[in-house]
Amino acid sequence: MKMPGNLFLTGPMGAGKSTIGRQLARQLKIPFHDSDHEIEQRTGVDIPLIFELEGEAGFRKRESAIIDELTRLQGIVLATGGGAILDQQNREHLTSRGTVIYLHTSVSQQLKRTGRDRNRPLLQTSDPRLKLEELMAVREPLYRDTADIIIDTDGMRVMDVVRQIIRQLG
């Protein structure tokens, strides 16, 4: 297999972007980056605190700057935050600077994977399922529109998803 260029993982929270991205990068022997982790490293605080202090708009501004910077690197796997796709400029950076892989997952699967995670500010609500359904209604068309490859991760093991991605990259 020839060396891939940049591989950018998109999808909703709980799709497995970070876990799959880390394994994909290991298999391909290229660096892995996670935009959310990068924001936390640079600010020294976790994302819920950024949301609390700056609101979602403040977080999205930081996220866009990080995505612009990271997508300029060469030969990486990047896991983006679930909402990164909302920003037009982020979508342009992702589609023009690498291969976009949409890791699709159902709302039921998202609930299973994120149910006890307090690090998800958008899910700190009385009805997380409704919130996930609302997010998916807005974001799903954007994920699909920007994707070069779409993988359904429901019920799949991490390495099976990684192998499927590598196969589709040719």
How distant, in Å, are the alpha carbons of 17, 51, 72, 99, 136 from that of 124?
A: 21, 12, 33, 32, 16
User: Token match 């409704």: residue?
Assistant: 130
Q: What is the per-residue pLDDT across 91-117, written as a single tens digit (0 to 9) for each?
A: 999 999 999 999 999 988 888 877 666
Pairing relationship of beta strands 77-79 and 32-34 according to DSSP bridges: parallel
Two tokens, residue 19: 């876990």
Q: Calculate mean pLDDT across residues 18-29.
A: 96
169 vs 6: CA distance, rounded Å: 11
Q: Calculate mean pLDDT across residues 64-91.
A: 96
Domain spans of the chain, in order of start: 7-169
Quickly list DSSP for 97-160.
HSEEEEEE--HHHHHHHHTT-TT-GGG-SS-HHHHHHHHHHHHHHHHHHH-SEEEE-TT--HHH
Q: Name the most confidently modeled range: 108-117, 128-137, 138-147.
A: 138-147
What phi, psi does 49 have (nearest 5°)? Answer: -70, -40
88 vs 162: CA distance, rounded Å: 28
**How high is the pLDDT of residue 152?**
94
Fold adopted by 7-169? Rossmann fold (3.40.50)
